[in-house]
């Protein structure tokens, strides 16, 4: 079903839109089983998940999250391996390229017909309880991607609901109307580079924390100022991410030669073209 006029206007004016009932339960089950198979492949004495095939979604989710937390306590390298592996699986491709998501993005970009979409930075974030090492402060996604590109970001729970307790995403509603802002940049010794908008910009807008149920998807503008909350729950928070670029945009064509990287060492708006 295509988005209606009021939904498009909300995205344009507030910078975000929530889609309901995007993912089927079976995809989450498949995702959990994929993770369990990877975890078991490490062949660690402390983690050996057996007889999981007949578990329901709630039980499967709990054992998956507990196992991920145990892996983090053993050695963070295992979480890194899972992160790097799962992002390029066919399952994440299917989840980020569902017909409902793509049709919504076409409409939000102003195209009623299909256009080619350049999908990048597909990943499943794994945020451990009370650990902000790899979190970003307030930021716009524009600074972490292709300079001048028109793109929309996806953010969605992938195993369980996300709320205040496990650190759901916070936004500054309508801050997308600022366009790409000036930033104060700093690179910590550990974690991602931070490209934070100036405080006077942040202070202009109301902060909203968006809670999402499993199956819902948040789409937001690449200029919407946002950040994740603190995961103060007992379990990891897993969220699906993706960027959808419009490759027909002239700025995209001019900038595509730039090397695109993960948030680490450069602000694309402070690089020479």
Show the low-confidence residues of the chain (pLDDT under 50): 261-264, 272-273
Torsion angle, alpha carbons of 20, 26, 27, 30, to 10: 160
244, 105 contact by CB (below 8 A): yes
Tell which residue, 119, 118, 122, 114, has the closest CA to residue 85: 122
Residue 177: per-residue pLDDT = 97
Query: What pLDDT shows up at residue 189?
Result: 82
pLDDT of residue 121: 92
Measured in whole angstroms, the distance separating CA 92 from the mean position of its chain's CA atoms is 12
Q: What per-residue confidence (pLDDT) applies to 256?
A: 77
Q: Could you tell me the two tokens for 203?
A: 């202070």
The predicted pLDDT at position 65 comes to 96
Q: How confident is the model at residue 214, as a pLDDT?
A: 94
pLDDT, tens only, 148-183: 888 999 999 999 999 999 999 999 999 999 999 999
Q: What is the pLDDT of residue 187?
A: 86
- pTM (two decimals): 0.91
d(CA 234, CA 230): 12
Dump pLDDT digits (tens) for 202-241: 999 999 999 999 999 999 999 999 999 999 999 999 999 9
């Amino acid at each position: 079903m295509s988005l209606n006029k009021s939904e498009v206007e909300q995205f344009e004016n507030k910078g975000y839109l929530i889609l309901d009932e995007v993912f089927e339960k079976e995809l989450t089950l498949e995702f959990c089983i994929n993770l369990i198979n990877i975890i078991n492949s490490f062949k660690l004495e402390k983690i050996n998940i057996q007889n999981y095939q007949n578990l329901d979604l709630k039980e499967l989710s709990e054992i998956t999250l507990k196992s991920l937390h145990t892996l983090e306590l053993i050695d963070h390298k295992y979480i890194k391996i899972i992160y790097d592996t799962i992002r390029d699986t066919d399952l994440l491709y299917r989840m980020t390229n569902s017909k409902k998501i793509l049709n919504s993005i076409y409409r939000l970009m102003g195209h009623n017909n299909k256009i080619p979409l350049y999908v990048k930075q597909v990943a499943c974030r794994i945020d451990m309880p009370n650990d902000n090492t790899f979190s970003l402060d307030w930021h716009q996604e524009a600074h972490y991607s292709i300079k001048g590109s028109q793109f929309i970001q996806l953010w969605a729970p992938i195993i369980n609901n996300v709320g205040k307790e496990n650190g759901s995403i916070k936004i500054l509603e309508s801050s997308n109307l600022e366009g790409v802002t000036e930033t104060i940049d700093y690179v910590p010794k550990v974690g991602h580079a931070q490209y934070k908008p100036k405080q006077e910009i942040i202070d202009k807008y109301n902060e909203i924390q968006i809670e999402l149920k499993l199956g819902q998807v948040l789409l937001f503008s690449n200029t919407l100022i946002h950040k994740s909350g603190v995961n103060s729950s007992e379990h990891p928070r897993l969220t699906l991410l993706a960027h959808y670029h419009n490759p027909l945009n002239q700025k995209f064509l001019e900038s595509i030669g730039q090397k695109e990287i993960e948030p680490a060492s450069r602000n694309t708006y402070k690089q020479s073209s």
